[in-house]
Amino acid sequence: MMHRRGNEASLRYEARRQREDESPRLHAEVPTLESLKLEIEERRGNASNPETTYIRRIVVESAPALFALVCGERDCEDGGHDITYAVMAGLRRGSTKFEGEDVCHGSVRTTTCGRVLHYKATATYRP
Ligand SMILES: [Zn+2]
């Protein structure tokens, strides 16, 4: 059982890495982007206070144009937050501050995960 899970995890990791490798680079998509910071808050679906908060600084020169964040729920399977579309839309608009939410659709044992991720993006651009 443990063995099978381990294999699945490494397969998922491989798929994720492959996707990152195949994605266009961020600087190619938004050439004027100078810096990007994401403030992430995660909470369980029914809680009002965030359980996890962290800041992710994106290395603009080398990062892929892909924002797929893992779910913070330990037992969540096939979950995660792909905010690529929303973040890229904000950057293409040239927004310096924008935010949004994403609900995890993974499963925790017999129910859906439903963990809510809230992100606040702060970006700067070259003139
Ligand atoms: Zn989840």
Cα 110 to ligand 1 centroid, rounded to whole Å: 13
Measured CA to CA, the distance from residue 115 to residue 71 in angstroms comes to 8
Q: What is the pLDDT of residues 45-72, one digit of tens each?
A: 777 888 889 999 999 999 999 999 999 8
Tokens of 85: 């579309």
Cα 39 to ligand 1 centroid, rounded to whole Å: 18
Cα 30 to ligand 1 centroid, rounded to whole Å: 30
Average pLDDT over all residues of the chain: 91
Number of domains in the chain: 1
Q: Please give the average per-residue pLDDT across 93-97, as a whole number.
A: 98
Q: Running DSSP on this structure, what letter comes out for residue 24?
A: P
More confident residue, 79 or 21: 79
Cα 29 to ligand 1 centroid, rounded to whole Å: 29
- pLDDT at res. 123: 98
Q: Please give the average per-residue pLDDT across 65-90, as a whole number.
A: 94
Which range marks the domain in which residue 46 is found?
2-125
Asked if the model's pLDDT at residue 1 lies above 80, the reply is: no
